[in-house]
Structure 1
């Protein structure tokens, strides 16, 4: 039987969160300040999910992620600085009709496969492409630290912070497993010759 849960959402284009990783957020809009206040009074959970377009009330993508508020700084003017700690991905079932300022959904949590690792060939191929990508973009990377990361932390970490457009980041989030996400990351880095306007993000459109 499918187990569902009610989630309060923060629909933010370009922002994804993976289980085990962190996402810092500066919260200033009144509706999302209310969302944080409500979460702190309940279970500290906030669900991150991307809207399909940057418009008020836009339809949502079908997969997002649940985070738990770890660090929190409440500012005097009502804004918050928070750090979300990724707990699980979820699949959207339906949006709920609510009276709160923030949107809420019914969702099913996704049980990700634990303990996934890349083959030595996959890992080497990814690191080689990542070096080429970083050099081409002028990024300074501590490759010794990268080499010490486990496969999951490396692939999910790059997926979360890479300068890809929302559609590409959503595809990374929805990838069913680590090998598939790694392969998609390599394809996106190879595709990076195309830029979205002047902000340097990779675009698939």
Structure 2
């Protein structure tokens, strides 16, 4: 866990948010980002002088929820990350790495003058994300996940380092695949909102199996 953020009381009550559909940050995961839009460059300038915390969040599907004056309606749950790597390029972009700290429920959006959005963050439902054992390997049998992953990759014509996948702790593999694989925004949100790692594993296996079973010309069924 980055820094000393190990208790709910260590987390800020208000965080800036970076709405980015189809991108997933999970507790303990690392997300590289290339920041070039002026409002988010401004956001990085501000967070680097403070707690270095950013809330990654998606927006609700069009027509779901009420948009704010600042943009589309935000998804109900996001994940706060701490900037753990920062570099500036010669053309003024920021290359950062966010390390996931804890999921949050997005509360009221603040009427701020900053060009980026800020929300009240409620972390109380996700205290387990802060525990050191959050990515510890569980006793779950990895075989169903690996079998579903193999079918998914074969269907898409992709390949991975299988020795690395088979040697990885089961739950760490679940989180890394959830973040890295090209699921759509709704599917990414379902993985984020899974209450426990066991639930996330089950959701991930279901998504892999659905994708592998769908013909290229077919519409995949919804998991919701």
Per-residue CA distance 1:67-111 (angstroms, 9 max, x = gap): 111111112333211111111111112211111000000011221
Give the aligned partner of residue 24 of structure 1.
32
Further displaced range: 141-150 or 68-77 = 68-77
- TM-score under structure 1 length normalisation: 0.88
Further displaced range: 54-63 or 99-108 = 54-63
Question: What aligned pairs does 1:150-165 form with structure 2 within 5 A after superposition?
Answer: 150-165=169-184
Distance 1:175 1:33 in 2: 31
Decide which structure has greater strand share: 1
| Secondary structure class of the residue paired with 2:111 | coil
| Secondary structure class of the residue paired with 1:164 | coil
| Secondary structure class of the residue paired with 1:66 | strand
Query: Are residues 1:97 and 2:116 paired?
Result: no
Per-residue CA distance 1:123-165 (angstroms, 9 max, x = gap): 2111111111112211111111112211221111111111111
1:12 CA drift (Å): 0.4
| Secondary structure class of the residue paired with 1:155 | helix
Distance 2:217 2:60 in 1: 17
Distance 1:62 1:135 in 2: 34
Aligned CA-pair RMSD: 2.5
Query: Are residues 1:60 and 2:74 paired?
Result: yes
Instruction: Point out where structure 1 has 5 or more consecutive residues left out of the alignment.
Output: none
Relative to structure 1, the CA distance from residue 176 to residue 196 in structure 2 (aligned partners, 3 Å threshold; closer, same or farther) is: farther
Please tell me whether the aligned partners of residues 140 and 170 of structure 2 are also in contact (alpha carbons under 8 angstroms). no
Instruction: Point out where structure 2 has 5 or more consecutive residues left out of the alignment.
Output: 1-7
| Secondary structure class of the residue paired with 1:191 | helix
Give the aligned partner of residue 146 of structure 1.
165
Give the aligned partner of residue 51 of structure 2.
43
- TM-score under structure 2 length normalisation: 0.81
